Amino acid sequence: MIEEWAHSAIETARRRGASYADARLMDIRQRDISVKNGEVGTLAESESLGIGIRVIASGAWGFASTDRLTREGVDSCAAEAVAIAKASALAKRDDVSLAPEQAYVDTWQNPFVKDPFRIPVERQIDLLLAADKEMRRIKGVTVAEGSMSFRRIEQLFVSSIGSSIHQVKMQSGAGIVATSFAGSEIQKRSYPNSFGGQHMLQGYELVESLDLVGNAPRVAEECVGLHSAAQCPERQGTIILGGSQLGLQIHESIGHPIELDRVLGMEANFAGMSFLTTDKLRHLKYGSDLVSVVADARLEHGPGLGTFAYDDEGVPAQRIPIITNGLFSGYLSSRETAPAIGEKRSGGTMRCESWNRLPMIRMTNISIEPGSWKFDDLIADTDDAILMETNRSWSIDDRRYHFQFSTEIGWEIRGGKKTRMIKNPSYSGITTEFWNSCDAVCSREYWTLWGTPNCGKGQPQQTMGTGHGASPARFRNVRIGVAFAK
């Protein structure tokens, strides 16, 4: 019945003058749990169901959405979308033109083993409380926290070109954090990553694989130990970034600037525009010859938060070269923007957070290709450096060019050996100079597809999950220790 209503909405839009129309019916279920110092902090479960209808009429876009899922409600929503498009056409500069795309009729679901919504909430809370307890056993831990997040997205996409695509995505994530206050200093350690841990397109088996309880004592001990660690020096030198930190570096200094709507000035909310103007395509030496980055939404790349079968314009998932042996080679594009860079087809990167939001260009899985180094060999080959792991904070300008990052923990590398712990490690640089300074990337066995569940963009803001595959890498002649310089 609902599929019939979606097709009815398309027909209503066409009868009222739309030259193109698509509809996204989305059913989103979410569960969030958190604990703090032995008590439950958050226990929330929600479900959202509605339809968003996007049209082109009189050469302009129109969009409307509703949760009134009756034939009358859906048809009224479609009529409103057309009316908005016609009103928008009064201020248009040019007619909207879309790159061609085939019609697809398909069904897809990401593989997972255990449905997290079928796992009793009590069992999930007990696991977080057990990890919390293990962290608080370590003297000096002030705050122990843990969290889990699960999201099931079922979506039906239909369009006036004849597509009818049903997709189901299951996302899971979990992590723990220990924080220690000592005098005027605060130190923290997170596992397996900061800002909510690790998130992937998997079921509850992801949580079980993380062994939160088993890792809790180490996390807490490192947190407390940071207070007595040596301060990160301020200097120009060599750094090695752990995989999760490199993933965020990719997100901020490659992922956002390659969003073509930012480049073309169509979008600037929340994170600004981009230094990557179109004249730089296939001309800019973005990084060293060792740096190759792809945008890959296919399941073959891994179960990342940027993985799907079709984007929210009904375009199949693709693998797009972004940086090829250091040369800037591609953008994230849509059906509307692809022709601006001479492409005959969209890159398939349009995504929306919910049924009541317009799709926009978003990162998929933006990943650096693995290199050839074994991690121990990389350390042994490095005479003097700081190994930095797990992001603590970041800042980058609105063109994504000048940046500063700090991490939770560092380790001094001297004479090819990992030695003492370093606190408050930080580094800064200019995007292209930084990536050109890369002279080593670790191999596939050290590569992880990290999940970033909280990427914000647009107005009204949309929060989207992205993936970033990375293994540890070395960078020379980097400015170190600026963030906490005295």
* Whole-number pLDDT of residue 423: 98
What is the helix (H) or strand (E) element at residue 427, kind and residue range?
strand 426-430
Same domain, yes or no, for 277 and 207? no
- Band of pLDDT at residue 4, cut at 50, 70 and 90: confident
In a domain, 485, yes or no: no
Indicate whether 399 and 465 sit together in one domain. Answer: yes
Beta bridge partners of 147: 34, 175
Same domain for 440 and 474, yes or no, is yes
pLDDT digits (tens, 9 = 90+) for 16-49: 999 999 999 999 999 999 999 999 999 999 999 9
Q: Are residues 362 and 278 in the same domain?
A: yes
161: Cβ contacts below 8 Å, ≥ 6 apart: 20, 101, 102, 103, 314
The whole-number average pLDDT for the span 441-453 is 98
Among 195, 228, 261, identify where a domain stops: 228
Tell me: pLDDT of 2 over 90.
Answer: no
Average of per-residue pLDDT values in the chain: 97
Of 7, 204, 247, 199, nearest to 117 by C-alpha is 204
pLDDT band at 3 (very low <50, low <70, confident <90, very high): confident
Q: Look at residue 214 and tell me whether its pLDDT is greater than 60.
A: yes
* Torsion angle of C-alpha atoms 377, 476, 240, 366, degrees rounded to 10: -110
Shared domain for 193 and 245, answered yes or no, is no
What's the rounded mean pLDDT across residues 153-180? 98
pLDDT of 446 over the 60 cut: yes
Angle at 42 between CA 36 and CA 46, to 5 degrees: 160
Does one domain contain both 316 and 251? Answer: yes
pLDDT tens-place string over residues 287-317:
999 999 999 999 999 999 999 999 999 999 9
The CA distances from residue 49 to 67, 290, 328, 356, in Å, are: 6, 46, 40, 10
Domain count, the chain: 2
Question: Is the predicted pLDDT of residue 397 greater than 80, yes or no?
Answer: yes
Here the tokens at position 182 are 């000592």
How deeply is 95 buried, as exposed, middle or buried, from its count of CB atoms within 10 A (0-12, 13-18, 19+)?
Answer: exposed
Do 218 and 325 sit in the same domain of this protein?
no
Per-residue pLDDT, averaged over 126-139, amounts to: 98
Are 278 and 395 within one domain?
A: yes
**Domain CATH code at residue 125:** 3.30.2290.10
Question: Residue 485: its pLDDT value, please?
Answer: 58
Instruction: Look up the domain containing 255 and give its range.
Output: 230-480
% of the chain with per-residue pLDDT over 90: 96
Residues 244 and 144 in one domain: no
Express each pLDDT in 459-486 by its tens digit.
Answer: 889 999 999 999 999 999 999 998 775 5
Do 202 and 248 lie in one domain? The reply is no
On whether the pTM is more than 0.85, the answer is yes
Parallel, antiparallel, or unpaired for β 438-441 and 473-480?
Answer: antiparallel
Section 102-119 average pLDDT: 98
Percentage of residues in the chain with pLDDT exceeding 70? Answer: 99
Q: Is residue 486 part of a domain?
A: no
Judge whether residue 399 has pLDDT over 60. yes
CA atoms within 13 A on the CB side of 396: 26
Domain boundary among the residues 188, 206, 228 is at 228
Question: Are residues 10 and 136 both part of a single domain?
Answer: yes
Statement to judge: residues 220 and 236 lie in one domain = no
Under 8 Å CB-to-CB from 406, ≥6 apart: which residues?
391, 392, 393, 394, 424, 425, 426, 483, 484
